[in-house]
Amino acid sequence: MLLVSASAAAGRILPRQGKTGEVMGHRYPLVNINGKTYRLAPGARIYDRNNRTILQNRLPDNVKVLYKLDMNGEVIQLWLLTPREQAALRRAGE
């Protein structure tokens, strides 16, 4: 696991095996990340920058994310990244 501080007071744990990318567009149940179209898995969870779960219709376009795929190649978890988290992941070599 990779601990990435979201602010001086709080942080959240992001998975090391996640992949980074940018959401280019979406139309439920599909999401385009880095030009590749993925299906959201049943029960997929999307976390905003404050680590709250959001519905897929609240997923913005053109946002940097960390995502995990399930064994079927579908997006099972997706985190909207803060600028600080993006920088930390770049430094960690993700």
Residue 30 token pair: 């599909």
Residue 91: what pLDDT? 85
| CATH 3.30.160 for domain 2-92 | no
* Helix segments in 1-94, DSSP class H: 83-92
Which residue ranges make up each domain of the chain?
A: 2-92
Q: What is the mean pLDDT of the chain?
A: 88
Return the ∠ at Cα 85 (arms to 81 and 90), rounded to 5°. Answer: 110
Q: Is the pLDDT of residue 4 over 50?
A: no
Bond before 83 cis per omega within 30 degrees: no
Q: Is the pLDDT of residue 2 over 90?
A: no
Residue 10: what pLDDT? 53
Q: Is the pLDDT of residue 94 over 60?
A: no
Q: For the segment 46-92, what is each residue's pLDDT rounded down to a tens digit? A: 999 999 999 999 999 999 999 999 999 999 999 999 999 999 888 88
Beta bridge partners of 78: 46, 67
Report CA 53 to chain centroid distance, whole Å: 11
